A = this chain, B = another copy of it.
Amino acid sequence: MIFLDYQSRVPIYQQIKEQVIMLINTGVYAPNDRLPSIRALSAELNINVNTIKRAFQELEAEGVTYSSQGRGIFVAENPLANEKLKENAIADIKQAVASGKAKGVTKSDLQKLIDEMYEV
């Protein structure tokens, strides 16, 4: 259920984080559901345990999950990190747009891009 792009410059732990968040957002995992164990994911994705751990460490720090020694990792009661994540994403876009504006990207360029990306 998690797909990694080894070509991407986005670090693997980051890809894992984002996909776990998406699985939660789409309801595949509900609050207090137990997520697959670190070792299971490590085996399934063929990724080192430490890399998976890092992904979950950050998810926990961001309030998306909580872990319980010996029991596993669970979806937080209220993974409100979603809101924060969205805000961060918007901030990132804002920065990219600001940078683009200085390089000649026009409003209609962006309009076109958005229409493309959000078309049905």
Chain A contact residues (Cβ within 8 angstroms of B): what range? Answer: 35 or more
A118 to B106, CA, bound (A): 8
Q: What residues on B are CB-neighbors of A107 within 8 Å?
A: 114, 118
A82 to chain B, nearest CB (A): 6
A7 to chain B, nearest CB (A): 5
User: Are A89 and B105 in contact, with the CB atoms below 8 A?
Assistant: yes
- CB within 8 Å of B: which residues of A? 6-7, 10-12, 18, 21-22, 25, 58, 61, 66, 68-69, 71, 74, 77, 82, 85-86, 88-90, 92-105, 107, 109-111, 113-114, 117-118
Partner of A90, one of B77, B90, B105: B105
Task: Write the chain B residue with the least CB distance to A101.
Answer: B117
Known A-B contacts A85-B103, A117-B101; A7 and B93 likewise in contact (beta carbons under 8 Å): no
User: Are A114 and B117 in contact, with the CB atoms below 8 A?
Assistant: no
User: Are B85 and A98 in contact, with the CB atoms below 8 A?
Assistant: no
User: Are A100 and B104 in contact, with the CB atoms below 8 A?
Assistant: no
A34 to B96, CA, bound (A): 27
